[in-house]
Amino acid sequence: MHKLTPDLLVIGAGSGGLSIAAGAVQMGASVVLLEGHRMGGDCLNFGCVPSKALIASGKAAHAQANAAQFGIADVVPQVDYAAAKDHVADVIAQIAPVDSQERFEGLGVRVIREYGEFISPTEVRAGSHVISARRTVIATGSSPLVPPIPGLDRVPYETNETIFELRERPDHLLVIGGGPIGMELAQAHRRLGCAVTVIEGEKVLSQDDPEMVEVVRARFDAEGIAIEEAALAAEITGKAGAIEVVAKDGRVFKGSHLLMAVGRKANIDRLNLEAAGIETTRRGIKVDASLRTSNRRVHAIGDVAGGLQFTHVAGYQAGLIIRQALLGLPAKNRTDHIPWATYTDPELAHIGLTEAQARDTHGGNLEVLRFPYNHNDRAIAERKTTGLIKVMVVRGRPVGASIAGAQAGELISLWALVIANKLKMKHVAGMVAPYPTLGEINKRVAGAYFSPRLFDSAMVKWVVRLVQRWLP
């Protein structure tokens, strides 16, 4: 066995682990990074990157089939499903060097391509190495949750870890799970020529504002995607090319391929956390507000810590760990300023409190502001008028924002800045947005806050009349 004693051990080379390793080594710490699977983790190889690439292929096909509104003849897109997957692979390949072992070794990180396992509260074994670090960070992420539905073990199925390798286009894709992953991949496959049925035990996109979800639902209906809600899968039967999902209420859904997208589970099985005295919960590793585990020398970040499961959350938390472990400064994890987006078309994006949460929390002090896409000139010019923005405001300060519509994921960034820095509506109203842009939607919803205060105020009108009498 080779004994290593670095300042910092990072277990997992996904987005969070890589951010910590890169930051720490460039600040002068000695770093060992463990990865038993693929560098870049789920986001690069199975999640954010490939899904957005496949969505882009679907958008291209959809544009060809819906060009008449721009004065260009609609055509039936000639989809080469395997070539679309080549596009996905090429996108991954272009990004992979940034996350590669070679790059991190060039920065000075000791990269060991083995899984890590705790053998004591202070030691981790990885292959022929035993690492005893001053601080350890677990960043092993999460994997697809595959529930024990009767019959599933006898039927071929895909997850987000396998579907991007599929080369033959499904005739009819059954998607169990109506969360962001299931809905994004459902629409992408529909636009690439597959029949698609989404089977959801409760409500699709249940974490988002229902008013905003309806905007997406309407588009899915228009594109011929079947959404079956309150359809809890009770049994799965069939074989490759002929699969049946039987719901608890007796409904039966038939398709050629099955995608399981019901959620995620924390990757903790290989870690032997008991040997390190690290407590877990049903969602993952138990951490405090500083992301420290029950073993004070060990932190956990990202999906494995059981909180919000987004790549940008892992990146944010990586910064908190660097602040604590390298600089010895306090840092507390917070979630009120974390945005999220679902990249359906239209997109969904949100930050802070939803309308329902804000009403429960703030009652009569809450103002809910709306501005529709169909009053934005750029949206009209590009035929992207479906959607709206909604901002929840308490005493002039936004406490939440929801957007459904084109580029919602881009537009939400302004509200992330506002809420993270506790700015007010007056700061958004004071911004000058270039014309014509979708970004004016943010400006106009701020205007909706001040307009009644200015134009419907008897006091303001009295002051104006008085001033006009005395102005030369």
Asked whether residue 273 falls in the same domain as residue 414, the answer is: no
Residue 118 placed within a domain: yes
pLDDT of residue 470: 76
Last residue within a domain, chosen from 244, 262, 280: 262
Measure CA of the first residue to CA of the last residue in the chain; give whole Å.
Answer: 90
Domain shared by 356 and 445, yes or no: yes
Domain boundary among the residues 262, 281, 302 is at 262
Q: Are residues 11 and 111 in the same domain?
A: yes
**How many Cα atoms sit within 13 Å of 465 on the Cβ side?**
6
Q: Is 385 left (phi over 0), alpha (psi -120 to 50) or beta?
A: alpha
pLDDT beneath 50: ranges in the chain: none
Does residue 127 share a domain with residue 13?
yes
Domain assignment present for residue 331? The answer is no
Q: Is residue 368 part of a domain?
A: yes
Contact 316, 330 (CB under 8 A): no
- 8 Å CB contact between 225 and 186: yes
Asked whether residue 416 falls in the same domain as residue 443, the answer is yes
Looking at the fold, whether 252 and 288 belong to one and the same domain comes out as no
250 & 269 share domain: no
C-beta of residue 322 within 8 angstroms of C-beta of residue 8? no
Per the CB < 8 A criterion, the answer to whether 33 and 110 are in contact is yes
Residues 242 and 285 both lie in one domain: no
Number of domains in the chain: 3
Q: Report how far residue 197's alpha carbon sits from residue 170's, in angstroms, rounded to the nearest whole number.
A: 12
CA 264 to chain centre: 12
Pairing of the two strands 257-260 and 135-138: unpaired
Decide if 82 is inside a domain: no
CA distances from residue 123 to 131, 135, 277, 305 in whole angstroms, order as listed = 6, 10, 12, 20
DSSP 185: H
215 and 172 co-located in one domain: yes
Instruction: Please identify, among 216, 241, 262, the residue that sits at the C-terminal boundary of a domain.
Output: 262
Best CA proximity match to 209, nearest among 384, 388, 361: 388
Evaluate whether 135 touches 297 at the Cβ level (below 8 Å). Answer: yes
pLDDT at position 463 is 64
How many CB atoms lie under 10 A from the CB of residue 336?
A: 12
Say how far apart CA 343 and CA 227 lie, in whole Å: 17
Domain-located, residue 302: yes
Q: Output the pLDDT for position 472.
A: 72
CATH number assigned to the domain comprising residue 394? 3.30.390.30
Cβ(258)–Cβ(236) under 8 Å?
yes
pTM attached to this predicted model: 0.94
Q: For position 453, what pLDDT does the model report?
A: 66
Query: 140 and 168: one domain?
Result: no
Domain containing residue 278: CATH number: 3.50.50.60
**Is the peptide bond between 472 and the residue preceding it cis, with omega within 30 degrees of 0?**
no
Q: Which domain holds residue 399?
A: 339-455
Alpha helices (H) in 156-246, listed in sequence order: 180-191, 210-222
CA 248 vs CA 51, 252, 312, 355: distances in Å: 30, 9, 37, 32
The phi and psi torsions of 291 (rounded to 5 degrees) equal: 65, 20
359 and 403 both lie in a single domain:
yes
Cα 389 from Cα 372, distance rounded (Å): 6
Q: How far is CA 129 from CA 4, 60, 168, in A?
A: 7, 48, 42
Give the model confidence (pLDDT) of 336-389 as tens digits: 999 999 999 999 999 999 999 999 999 989 999 999 999 999 999 999 999 999
- Domain annotation covers residue 366: yes
* DSSP 8-class letter at 305: G
What are the b/e assignments for 40-70, b being 16+ CB within 10 Å? bbbbbbbbbbbbebbbebbeebbebeeeeee
Supply the pLDDT for residue 461: 64
Residue 232 lies in a domain: yes
Q: Please tell me the predicted confidence (pLDDT) of residue 458.
A: 67
pLDDT value, residue 13: 97
Is 278 inside a domain boundary?
yes
Do 369 and 451 lie in one domain? The reply is yes
pLDDT at residue 270, as a whole number: 97
**Other Cβ atoms within 10 Å of 433 Cβ, number:** 15
Joined together, the tokens standing for residue 325 give: 């472990």
The confidence score (pLDDT) of residue 455 equals: 56
